[in-house]
Amino acid sequence: MSISQDTSIASTAAQGDAFCVAVDWGTSSFRAWLLARDGKVLAESRGPEGMTHCVTSGFEPVLRAHLVKLAAPASLPILICGMAGARQGWVEAPYVDAPTRLTDFATRAVRVPNGFADIRILPGIAQRDPLAPEVMRGEETQLLGLGAGVARQLVCMPGTHSKWVVLEDGWLRRFATLMTGELFGLLSKHSTLAFAIEADVKFGTDAPAFLNALDKGAADPCLALSRLFGVRAAQLLGFETRSDGAAHLSGLLIGAEVLAARQNFPDHADVTLVASGSVADLYRAALQRVGLNVKHVDADHAVRQGLYLAAHSLWA
C-alpha cells in the first residue's frame, strides 16, 4: 500500500474503534491519522496544505476536509503538533523551555476555540540560551514517540532544518539546528552552483561524487564552506560532470553536518537516526562514515507514536 501526497486511505476496520485524530501540521505539509485506542492506524490523510498554505486559506476548513477523508466520527478529540502552533499559525502554543521532560509537554497543549471538537495543539520547545538559542516545533513529538528505552541518547533528525538532540532519562537536555536541507535547496536551485547541478537527480549512497564529498566534508567540516565552489570548479576542469553535482553538494553538506554535530556532541558513540526514505540512507552512510553506530527509526512512525502517547495522556 503506497501513500502519495493529497490522498487518503481508510482501513477496513470499523471507524467505531476510533480514539482520536492525530495531526502533524508542518510548514509545507499536512498529515492526519485516525487512531484506535491501541494506537493502530485506522485511516490516513495527507495533503500539501501546510502552515504556509493555511495562513491565507484558513486552518479549520483544511482540517475539516481531512476529517471527512478520514471518515472520522464526530466529536473525536484532535491532537495537532507542528507549525500550526507557531505565532503565525492557527493558535499559538507557547514554547516549553528546555531542558524538559518529554512526557510533560502534552499537558501544555493549547485548546483551539471551535464549535465542533476538542482540538489541542502541542507546544514546541525553546532553548533560551543566548549563546545557542534554538526552537523546534514538531520534532519534540517525534522524540516523545521514540519512547524511554535508552538512558542517554543522541538523536539525529535530518530535514530542511536538521535537529540534533540529546535525550537523557526521558528529558530533552539540549539541541542544535543545522539548515542543511535548506542550504542544499538554495545552493542547488538559486546559486551559481545551479549550473552544475541537475535538479532532482537520483543518486545512491555508493555514488563516488557523494562518497568523495562526504569524506571532504566529514574530514574537515571547518573547510566545508571552502569546498562548495568545488562542485562547479570540478566540472569546469573536467573532473566531474553535471550528473555528479547533486551527489557532490549533498555529500559536502551532510558530511559537514555530521562532523559538526559530532564535535558539538562529542561523548556519543551511538546515534538514533529519525528519518524516512532516501534521506535516511544518505545520513546512515554519513553517520557510519564518522564512526557512529546508527539505530534507525522511521520518522513517520515516530511522530504518529508521539501524538498517540500525548493523546493517551490527555484523554485515555
Let me know: does 121 contact 112? Beta carbons within 8 Å.
yes
CB of residue 190 to a second copy, shortest distance in Å: 6
28 binds a second copy (CB under 8 A): no
CA 81-160-203 angle, 5° bins: 130
CA atoms within 13 A on the CB side of 280: 13
209 near a second copy, judged by CB under 8 A? no
Q: Please state, in angstroms and rounded to a whole number, the distance separating the CA atoms of residues 214 and 62.
A: 41
Distance (Å) of CA 55 to CA 51, 52, 75, 175, 180: 6, 6, 25, 28, 25
Shortest spacing between CB 284 and a second copy, in angstroms: 20
| Angle of CA points 212, 218, 221, to nearest 5° | 120
Q: Can you tell me the distance from the alpha carbon of 8 to that of 189, in angstroms, rounded to the nearest whole number?
A: 31
161 touching a second copy, by CB under 8 A:
yes
The site string for a second copy over 74-113 (x = CB under 8 A, - otherwise) reads ----------------------------------------
Task: Decide if residue 297 touches a second copy (CB under 8 A).
Answer: no
Establish if 194 lies at the interface with a second copy (CB under 8 A): no
To a second copy, the closest distance from the beta carbon of 146 in angstroms equals: 22
Applying CB under 8 A, which of residues 47, 221, 245, 306 lies at the interface with a second copy?
Answer: 221
Q: Which residues bind a second copy (CB under 8 A)?
A: 126-128, 130-135, 161, 176-180, 182-183, 186-187, 190-192, 216, 220-226, 228-230, 233-234, 236-237, 239, 256-257, 259-261, 263-264
